Amino acid sequence: MAAYFVAVLNIAFWQQFLAAVAPRTTYELLFVVATMVVAFCLLALFLGLFALPRVFKPVMTVLLPMSAAAAYFINEYGVVIDVDMVRNVFLTNQAESR
């Protein structure tokens, strides 16, 4: 799950990161690889908190669709999802959405 989150659901991040770093030397390429490994390890540690038999599946059932939806909007519309964006989602009513 951690590899899927890091590699697939963060494509926009990796594209921006590679554009900013633009690895040309071995050291820069190693920096990119190290960043990917650190991101994977940190996410694996975070997901490890939920690695109890009856907890992991329900947490992933909620986390995976939410992350996929967020990745879709980031990739398709170029939005940045931050605290203000989440607050707007919860404060929007039907009249505003129409």
**Could you say which residues of the chain have pLDDT below 70?**
none
Type and span of the H or E element at 65: helix 56-77
pTM of the model: 0.78
Each domain of the chain, given as residue ranges in start order, spans 2-97
Residue 53, phi then psi, degrees to nearest 5? -55, -40
Type and span of the H or E element at 23: none
* pLDDT score for 94: 81
3-class state of residue 79 by DSSP: coil
